[in-house]
């Protein structure tokens, strides 16, 4: 009797699996790919997400194994897009809701002109690992990466031009002997087509005022921690974050950078601001501001894993942080009374 029951249960299980597979294949055949619903949860148990970008109406997240996700409702529901690659994708940037660029390992650059319905690989001319991309328009894009890699395009990626930086001039005297290789460039941020910044290893901050044709060094010291991300609110005011709780700010366009104490030594990986709202995320920690960056308050209830990318869905005052194990965490940016603020060291 018990054996008959076990056979029946196995039969029911097989039928259920066949039905599920048939449903999935039918939806795929009809062109309806099941959406991923995320509510402060995980996309998968093994896919990592590295970068995120929010445009006017849509949000994109990218990660391991060529993963590209798109949301049209502020991060509540996500749908996979076909990247055509299995390489790790590290960063994404859209000039508008239709035209965007994704970068990754092995010199990978993908571009779309239809909101991600189709992605096409572009020839970057290098196999270096790219770490950040910023699309200023459908034509003008800047990419930075490992070993001092900096490439740009002025024609939407038809041609990519690599800029060779003169590190002997950019690195202060006395520091160049400790620089065995070109430093990794981790972040890039242009506030307009002419004025931009790059950050990287050893607290490196570079600035351009001519659209990237020439760069000057504003900050570098082998004793400084690595900087991971930079954000400028206007031509004068900006912030950068990095390892061991490093948080620096400028109020004069980068001529001077001042260390700010957030009260943590955890690594900080990403920063984003919109209006008066702002967010910083890192290794199991987050800080937010409601006054344009004058003070920052620690956010509670953050999962104990790293977040490497963050974007603000401006309409809802919600930040979307992505990271370890495919996690997508929604952070409320509305003002909360109390908490700790920051001060300069």
Cβ-proximal residues to 263 (8 Å cutoff; 6+ apart), any chain:
245, 298, 340, 342
| Predicted confidence (pLDDT) at residue 176 exceeds the cutoff of 70 | no
**Is 16 a residue whose pLDDT tops 90?**
no
142: number of Cβ within 10 Å: 24
Q: Give me the mean pLDDT over the 28-38 stretch.
A: 37
**Percent of the chain at pLDDT exceeding 90:** 72
Which secondary-structure segment (H or E) carries 343? strand 343-344
Classify residue 335 by burial, with Cβ atoms within 10 Å: 0-12, 13-18, 19+.
Answer: middle
- pLDDT band (50, 70, 90) for residue 179: low
Stretch 74-93: mean pLDDT? 95
Count up the domains in the chain and report the number.
2
258/252 Cα distance (integer angstroms): 11
pLDDT at residue 190, rounded to an integer: 98
User: Helix, strand or coil for residue 100?
Assistant: strand
174 pLDDT band, cuts 50/70/90, is low
Task: For residue 322, count CB atoms less than 10 angstroms from its CB and return exposed for 0-12, middle for 13-18, buried for 19 or more.
Answer: buried
Q: Do 181 and 198 belong to one domain?
A: yes
Return the closest-CA partner of residue 324 out of 344, 304, 345: 304
Verify that 30 and 125 share a domain, yes or no: no
- 33 vs 237: CA distance, rounded Å: 44
Closest CA to 98 of 133, 63, 58: 58
CA distance 91 to 63: 8
Q: Are residues 43 and 82 in the same domain?
A: yes
More confident site: 46 or 162: 162
Q: Quick one: average pLDDT of 42-53? A: 76
The predicted pLDDT at position 56 comes to 86
Average pLDDT, the chain: 85
Mean pLDDT of 122-137: 97
One domain for residues 108 and 169: yes
More confident residue, 5 or 106: 106
Looking at the fold, whether 2 and 66 belong to one and the same domain comes out as no
Domain of residue 19 covers 1-34
**What is the domain-level CATH number for residue 284?**
2.130.10.10
Q: Where are the beta strands (DSSP E) in 10-125?
A: 36-37, 41-42, 49-54, 59-63, 68-71, 77-81, 89-94, 100-104, 109-112, 120-122
Q: Verify that 177 and 242 share a domain, yes or no.
A: yes
Query: Do 40 and 30 belong to one domain?
Result: no
pLDDT value, residue 271: 98
- 318 three-state secondary structure: strand
* pLDDT exceeds cutoff 50 at 341: no
Do 19 and 145 fall into the same domain?
Answer: no
Q: DSSP letters along 160-202, please? A: -EEPPP-HHHHSPTTTGGG--SPPPEEEEEESSSS-EEEEEGG
Please state the rounded mean pLDDT for residues 165-172: 86
246 with 125, same domain: the answer is: yes
Are 4 and 70 in the same domain? no
Query: What does the pLDDT read at residue 76?
Result: 87
Are 27 and 142 part of one and the same domain?
no
Domain shared by 28 and 119, yes or no:
no
Is residue 106 predicted with pLDDT exceeding 50?
A: yes
Q: Give the helix/strand (H/E) hosting 27.
A: helix 2-29
């Amino acid at each position: 009797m018990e054996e008959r029951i076990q056979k029946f249960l196995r039969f029911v299980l097989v039928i259920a699996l066949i039905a599920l597979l048939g449903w999935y294949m039918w939806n795929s055949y009809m062109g309806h790919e099941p959406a991923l619903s995320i509510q402060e949860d995980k996309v998968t148990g093994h896919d990592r997400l590295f970068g995120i970008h929010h445009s006017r109406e849509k949000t994109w997240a990218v990660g391991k194994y060529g993963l590209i996700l798109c949301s049209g409702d502020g991060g509540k529901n996500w749908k996979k897009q076909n990247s055509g690659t299995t390489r790790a994708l590290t960063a994404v940037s859209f000039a508008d809701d239709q035209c965007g660029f994704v970068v990754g390992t092995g010199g990978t650059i993908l571009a779309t002109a239809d909101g991600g319905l189709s992605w096409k690989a572009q020839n970057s001319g290098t196999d270096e690992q790219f770490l950040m991309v910023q699309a200023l328009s459908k034509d003008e894009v800047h990419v930075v990466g490992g070993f001092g890699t900096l490439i740009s395009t002025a024609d939407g990626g038809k041609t990519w031009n690599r800029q060779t930086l003169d590190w002997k001039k950019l690195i202060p005297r006395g520091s160049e002997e400790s620089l065995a290789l070109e430093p990794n460039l981790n972040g890039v941020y242009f506030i307009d087509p002419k004025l931009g910044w790059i950050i990287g290893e050893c607290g490196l901050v570079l600035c351009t005022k001519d659209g990237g044709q020439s760069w000057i060094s504003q900050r570098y010291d082998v004793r400084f921690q690595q900087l991971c991300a930079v954000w400028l609110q206007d031509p004068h005011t900006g912030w950068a974050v990095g390892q061991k709780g490093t948080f620096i700010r400028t109020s004069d366009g980068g001529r001077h950078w001042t260390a700010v104490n957030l009260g943590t030594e955890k690594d900080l990986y990403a920063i984003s601001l919109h209006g008066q709202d702002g967010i910083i995320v890192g290794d199991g920690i987050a800080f937010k501001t409601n006054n344009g960056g004058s003070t920052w308050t620690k956010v509670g209830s953050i999962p104990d894993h790293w977040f490497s990318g963050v974007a603000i869905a401006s309409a809802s005052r919600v930040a979307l942080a992505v990271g370890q194990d495919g996690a997508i965490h929604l952070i409320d940016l509305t003002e909360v009374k109390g908490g700790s603020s920051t001060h300069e060291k």
